[in-house]
Amino acid sequence: MTALPHNVVLRESALDFERFRVRTAKLSIEVPAHALAAAEAARAQGLELLIARCDTQRLNCAQALEEAGFRLMDTLVYFTQRLSARREPALPEGYSWRVATPEDAAAVGALASETFQGYMGHYHADDRLDRRACDDVYADWARRSCLDPGVADCVVLLECRREGESAELAAFATHARVDSSTWEGVLYGVGKQHQGRGLYAELIALGGALGAERGHATMLVSTQVTNLSVQKAWCKQGFLPIRSSYTFHAWFSPGNAT
């Protein structure tokens, strides 16, 4: 048995247990031998699900994960852009933007529930996880982004106000500080009735401007490799691909990998 080094830790996820009632841990694999060692450690700790990521350039790690009983669930692609000075947003008539407050959490969560329903991330790709709970992942993530600074540093909202009516939430974008130089756009959602009006591009531009204001030099975004429409939108905004990663799942029952 190859032991995991001290700096390679199975990070048990209390949040995933709350969502799925499944003891889950996560880790990144950079050495092929650590794939089997991680599976053995997960089994020894009584975990039920282990989520592992590896860089797509480390094909030997991906193959080792497959040999250790892991199944491929998704491939993420990452894009980056140098941030520049802020410009005024070019929003359609009737639309305006603002930064979310904790009072917006419920509305943002509801819009995320609509826009991410059935979204094929690594949770939805695993047929052993409850479908409804998979949908709720993104709604809960968006909601918590408005409430917990540890989840997101800034949530941008786009609202539509029609004459004689109150403002309606049309779109949102969550952002987080990665480090002193990198600002990340995390979750984006545009309501179905507001799509096709260029709102997504404006969310990207607004998020980047806010990151630049906070002193960040670059902006990072990521999505599923199959999400081509979003990647095309990023390229039009000047983003360039920089890396990609695989996500694998392995399930365990007492004493056995499945």
Q: What is the pLDDT of residues 66-104, one digit of tens each?
A: 999 999 999 999 999 999 766 677 898 899 999 999 999
Domains identified in the chain and CATH numbers: 11-75+246-257 (3.30.110), 84-216 (3.40.630.30)
Please, are residues 145 and 139 in contact by the beta-carbon 8 Å criterion? no
pLDDT, position 85: 67
Please, are residues 26 and 11 in contact by the beta-carbon 8 Å criterion? yes
User: Strand 24-28 relative to strand 49-55: parallel, antiparallel, unpaired?
Assistant: parallel
- pLDDT (tens digit, 9 = 90+) per residue, 117-147? 878 889 999 999 998 899 899 999 999 999 9
- Helix and strand numbers (H, E) in the chain are 7, 11
Percent of all residues in the chain with a pLDDT value above 70, rounded to a whole number: 93
Q: Is the pLDDT of residue 5 over 70?
A: no
Report the pLDDT averaged over residues 229-240.
93
Q: What is the DSSP string of 200-257?
A: HHHHHHHHHHHHHHTT-SEEEEEEETT-HHHHHHHHHTT-EEEEEEEEEEEEEETTEE
Structural tokens at position 249 = 């799942």
0.85 exceeded by pTM: yes
> What is the spatial distance between Cα 114 and Cα 169, in angstroms, rounded to a whole number?
12
Q: Is the pLDDT of residue 222 over 80?
A: yes
Q: Is the pLDDT of residue 194 over 70?
A: yes
- pLDDT (tens digit, 9 = 90+) per residue, 6-51? 667 789 999 999 999 999 999 999 999 999 999 999 998 999 999 9
Local structure of 257: helix, strand or coil: strand
| DSSP single-letter state for residue 179 | S
- pLDDT (tens digit, 9 = 90+) per residue, 95-122? 999 999 999 999 999 999 999 887 888 9
pLDDT, position 46: 93
